Amino acid sequence: MVWDKQWIGPGGPAALRPTYEIVMFAGMPEAQIVDRKASDIFACKWQAGSKAESGHPAEKPVPLMRHLIRLVAPSGGMIVDPFMGSGTTGLAARLEGCDFIGIEREARWVEIAERRISRPDQLGLEL
C-alpha cells in the first residue's frame, strides 16, 4: 500500500522530497484483506518532526495504523510490531479491539509505549 502523507517530506540536497511511504504487512498463510474494496493508496496527513504524542522521531499517525489494522485483522486478532517504537501500532490495535505484541530494544520507548497503550483515554482518543 502507498501512504500519501499529504505533505512534502524532508530530503537531502541530492534527493527528491518524498510525499509518500510504502507500507508492507505480513500475515499468516490464511491472512486476507478484510475490505476488498479498499484502495492501495491511503491519504493521512503527517509532518516530519511533529512528534505530537510521544517525542519519537518517526512516529506514525494513529489513524493510519487503525486503517491498516481494520484492513488486515479480524476483530480480536493479534497484531505484532517488531519495531514498536513509541507504540502507535499497539495503541491502534487496542482501539480496534485487537491483541498486541510489541518488540522494542530501547527502554525509553517501551516505557512511553506502555503508557500510551494502557491509557488511550488520556490521549483524547475514542475507544
**pLDDT, tens digit, 9 for 90 and up, residues 75-127:** 889 999 999 999 999 999 999 999 999 999 999 999 999 999 987 665 555 54
Q: What is the DSSP string of 68-118?
A: HHHHH--TT-EEEETT-TTSHHHHHHHHTT-EEEE--S-HHHHHHHHHHHH
For residue 25, the domain's CATH number is 3.40.50.150
**pLDDT, tens digit, 9 for 90 and up, residues 18-35:** 899 998 877 788 888 888
Q: How many domains does the chain have?
A: 1
Could you tell me what percent of the chain has a pLDDT over 70? 88
Entry pTM: 0.80
Domain that holds residue 112: 2-123
Q: How far is CA 127 from the centre of its chain?
A: 16
